[in-house]
Amino acid sequence: MDQIKIGKFIASCRKEQGMTQAVLAERLGISDRAVSKWETGKSMPDSGIMLELCDLLKINVNELMSGERIMAEAYDKRAEENLLAMRREVEEKNRQMLRTEYWIAFPAVIAGLVMAFVASFIEMPVWLRIVLIVFAFVMIFTVAFIAVGIEQKAGYYECQQCHHRYVPTYWKTNFAMHIGRTRYMKCPECGKRSWQKKVLTKED
């Protein structure tokens, strides 16, 4: 999606309705700075207020996501294009979150293990050795909890029995047996346990 184009379209529609950025922001219950960021293409309206925004601007969601008014005969095609574009954006966002998990987890785990190794085999006072080992393991476990939280929120897990895709709770994800990002969990749909793979989208 072209955020610059969408931003200009929002500004144009706002002016057509005789509203300033401040007035539009007030009706939506947000700051006029947020409206300004939309109109300059720096950000997109949150999905939670898109319908209300469209209602105020007298447009529909497909027109908002296209950044232009859509003729009736082209509506279905444009709607499909917008859905595909939104799906690609969701996939990329989830992919970036999973990359972030690796960038956070691996350096911290390696640093913690090196610290524990140094504390175990290099001559130093006992109190310092204990402090280093404790700190290393606290760091590893803390980062592991953060990494699981990122993994849990990015995308979905797919049941290998009924192929239902869902987002499990943090603790269910955290305590499940796992091999990489594949976790052994109970499906809330069919109630069966299986090794469930991480996928990026709700549907195929």
* pLDDT above 80 for 1: no
Is-contact 75 62, C-beta < 8 A?
yes
User: Based on C-alpha coordinates, what's the Rg of the chain?
Assistant: 24
Task: Please identify, among 16, 46, 70, the residue that sits at the C-terminal boundary of a domain.
Answer: 70
Number of domains in the chain: 2
Q: What share of the chain is helix, strand, coil (3-state, %, to 5)?
A: 65, 10, 25
Taking all residues of the chain, what is their mean pLDDT, rounded to a whole number?
A: 87
Asked if residue 93 is part of any domain, the answer here is no
Q: How far apart are CA 133 and CA 119, in angstroms?
A: 6
At 113, give phi and psi (nearest 5°).
Answer: -65, -40
pLDDT value for 73: 62
Q: Which of 38, 70, 102 is the last residue of a domain?
A: 70
> 199: exposed, middle or buried (C-beta count within 10 Å: 0-12, 13-18, 19+)?
middle
Instruction: Report the CATH number that the domain containing residue 39 is assigned in CATH.
Output: 1.10.260.40
In a domain, 128, yes or no: no
The DSSP 8-state label assigned to residue 163 in this structure reads -
Whether 127 maps to a domain, the answer reads: no
- Whether 46 is in a domain gets the answer yes
Average pLDDT over residues 27-54: 89
Is the pTM higher than 0.95? The answer reads: no
Asked if the model's pLDDT at residue 72 lies above 70, the reply is: no
The secondary structure element, H or E, covering residue 186 is strand 182-186
Q: What does the H/E/C string look like for 31-89?
A: CHHHHHHHHCCCCCCCHHHHHHHHHHHCCCHHHHHHCCCCCHHHHHHHHHHHHHHHHHH
Give the model's confidence band at 15: pLDDT under 50 very low, under 70 low, under 90 confident, else very high.
very high
pLDDT of 75 strictly over 70: no
141 inside domain:
no
Residues 128-133, mean pLDDT to the nearest whole number: 90
**Backbone CA torsion sign across 190, 191, 197, 202:** positive
For residue 159, give its domain range: 155-204
Pick the last residue of a domain from 70, 88, 108. 70
Alpha carbons 18 and 191: distance in angstroms, whole number: 54
Q: What is the pLDDT of residue 204?
A: 62
Residue 93: pLDDT over 70: yes
Q: What confidence category does residue 158 fall into, taking pLDDT thresholds of 50, 70 and 90? A: very high
187 inside domain: yes
pLDDT exceeds 90 at position 26: yes
Residue 142 lies in a domain: no
119 domain-assigned: no
**Residue carrying structure tokens 């005789």:** 18
What is the number of alpha carbons within 13 Å of residue 203 lying toward its C-beta?
Answer: 5
Residue 39 has pLDDT above 90, yes or no: yes
